[in-house]
Structure 1
Amino acid sequence: MDRDVSKPRVVVGVDGSPFSYAALHWAVRYARFVGGVVEAVAVWELPGLYGWSAPAVDTDVDEDETRRRMEQELTDVLGAEGAGSVRTHVVHGNPADVLLRAAEGAEALVVGSRGRGGFARALLGSVSRHVSQHASCPVVIVRSEQQ
C-alpha cells in the first residue's frame, strides 16, 4: 500500500455490498473534511486456500479483471470524478488482516457493518467486528440504508 504521509489517509474496505458502498460514501465525505485521501481496498481470498483443501481449489483468478471491476463499481457508486480521486488496491489475503495492515498509520479505517456473507440479522459482520477490536487507528462502522 502507498504510505504517502503528506495527507491523512482514510482506508475503506470495499466488497461490492450495499454496506461497503455506504462506507465508501462516508469515507469520501470524511476525507474531504480532513483534507485527506481515500484508499479503497478490495480483498480477495480463495475459499479453502488455507488448510487441507488447498490442492482442490482453482487458483486461476484474474487480478486485472478484478481491478477493472472494482474501478467500474467505484465509478457507478461515486461517479467518474469521485472515483478518480480514490486510490484503489486489490489485495489477496484474509480481509480482516489485509485491512488492518492497510490501515496502519491511517486517519481512520471505514468498513460496512456487514459484507457479502453472514447472517442477515447480524449487527456486525466478522470482518467489521475483528477490525474494530484490533485496528491501530479509529474504526468507523457504517450501516447501509438498504437493510
Structure 2
Amino acid sequence: MAPQPDGRIVVGVDGSPLSHAAVRWAARMAALTGSPLEAVTVWEFPGLHGEHGLVPPALDGFGPERRATRILDEALAAALPPATAVRRHLKAGPPGPALVSAAAGATVLVLGSRGRSAPAGALLGTTAQYCVHHAPCTVVVVKR
C-alpha cells in the first residue's frame, strides 16, 4: 500500500526561466492550500574521463554543490516575495531520479517543462519526462 501524501508541494529548481515560473506556481498553490513548500535543486558531480579512466577534478574552489546552492538561492529570491516560507533542499544525483525521490510522500511535484539543457523546440525536457512517468505523486508541468 502506498503511503498517504503528507501535503508538501515540491518544486524542482534549476535556475531556468521555466523553473522560476514553476516556483511561482508552486508558491501560489501552497498559499491557497496552506501546504508546505519545498524547493529542490539537484546537482551532479561531473565525471571527467582521462586517458586511464575516471580522473577526479583538481580544480581549486570547484564545487558543484556550492553552485547548486547559489542557483537555488538566486532562483527563490527572483521568483518569490521575501517573506515566503520555503524549505530548501539540495539532492545529489541524476535530476529525474533525485526529484522523484524528493517527491516521495508529497502531494504534488511541480516542474518547468524544460530546463537549461533541453533543445529549444522540445515540449518536455528529459527530467520532466522522467518525472511524469515515475513520480509517486501528481506532477504539474509549468509551460510558461
Common topology (TM > 0.5): yes
Q: 1:66 to 1:133 in 2, by over 3 A?
A: closer
Map of 2:27 onto structure 1: 28
Q: Are the structure 2 counterparts of residues 46 and 64 from structure 1 closer, same or farther at C-alpha, using a change threshold of 3 Å?
A: closer
Q: Aligned ranges for residues 34-53 of structure 1 at < 5 Å?
A: 34-48=33-47
* Distance in structure 1 (CA, Å) of the matches to 2:66 and 2:55: 23
AA matched with 1:43: V
Q: Is the 8 A contact 1:46 1:57 kept in 2?
A: no
Tell me which residue corresponds to 2:104.
104
Other structure's SS at 2:82 match: helix
Segments of 5+ residues of structure 2 without an aligned counterpart are: none
Shift in Å, 1:95:
0.6
Structure with bigger gyration radius = 2
Q: For 1:114 and 1:139, how far apart are their aligned partners in 2?
A: 14
Q: How many residues align?
A: 137
The two structures, once aligned, show a CA RMSD in angstroms of 2.5
User: Alpha-carbon deviation of 1:33?
Assistant: 1.9
1:139 aligns with 2:139: yes
The residue type paired with residue 87 of structure 2 is R
Letter in 1 for 2:88: T
Contact preservation (8 Å) 2:43, 2:65: no
1:29 partner letter? R
CA distance 1:58–1:29, shift in 2 (3 Å):
farther
Deviations 1:103-135 (CA, angstroms, capped at 9, x unpaired):
011010000000000210000000000000011
The structure with the greater share of residues assigned to helix is 1
Structure 2 counterpart of 1:67, from 69, 83, 94: 69
Letter in 1 for 2:29: Y
Q: Which residue identity is paired with 2:72?
A: M
**What is the match of residue 124 of structure 2?**
124
Relative to structure 1, is the Cα distance of residues 121 and 10 closer, same or farther in structure 2, using a 3 angstrom cutoff?
A: same
| Aligned residues with identical type, % of pairs | 43
Aligned amino acid, residue 11 of structure 1: V
1:86 equivalent to 2:86? Answer yes
Instruction: Label 1:31 to 1:119 Cα distance change in 2 as closer, same or farther (>3 A).
Output: same
State TM-score, norm by structure 2.
Answer: 0.83
Q: Could you state the TM-score of these two structures normalised by the residue count of structure 1?
A: 0.81
- Distance of 2:46 and 2:66 partners within structure 1: 20
**Shift, 1:24, TM fit:** 0.5
Post-superposition offset of 1:47: 3.2
